[in-house]
Structure 1
Amino acid sequence: MIRSVEDMVQERNSPEAPAGVAGGRSLLEIEGAFCLFPVRREPGTTFFCAAAVERENWAGGGQRSRYCAFHRDYLACCESVAEEAA
């Protein structure tokens, strides 16, 4: 089963980036190269980090290119949900 980052974040305490917006921003409030890592959910709305993303990463289009350096590092160091459950 393929799971989205949002699904995985729901099962763990997702940290907010020091440079992010406290509490996050909705997708409608974000324009440009800002982090789209989901940090919290409320009924009907997901809030994203909204920290600035370096232009070279945003333009690169690679995996996790829409995340700030903090959240890219966070995901690189996370165990999978299956590993956590073991």
Structure 2
Amino acid sequence: MWFNSSGRVSKQRHNVRVRRLDRLRRLRKGAGIKTDIQMKNLKLYVENQIIIEANERLRAKALLLHQENQTLLAQLQNKFSNIQNQL
């Protein structure tokens, strides 16, 4: 027990314990928030990776379609030039 100059019991020690307990509670609560943020961050990272992979697949498909379109356009131009040459 803590006694002050008048011989009374001081509540200072009790206040220190309460403050320490409050600090521990805040730290634990903050750790929970940090864990939640880390989990959200991980979920967003995984989702981002999935989107990146889908984007790469779509980009490859778009490239193939573009090449096919260029080939068909070249064939069409050859047909028109052959028709014009025959006239």
Q: Which has the higher contact order (CA 8 A, sep 6+)?
A: 1
TM-score computed with the length of structure 2 as normaliser? 0.18
Higher strand share goes to which structure?
1
TM-score computed with the length of structure 1 as normaliser? 0.18
Greater gyration radius: 2
Higher helix share goes to which structure?
2
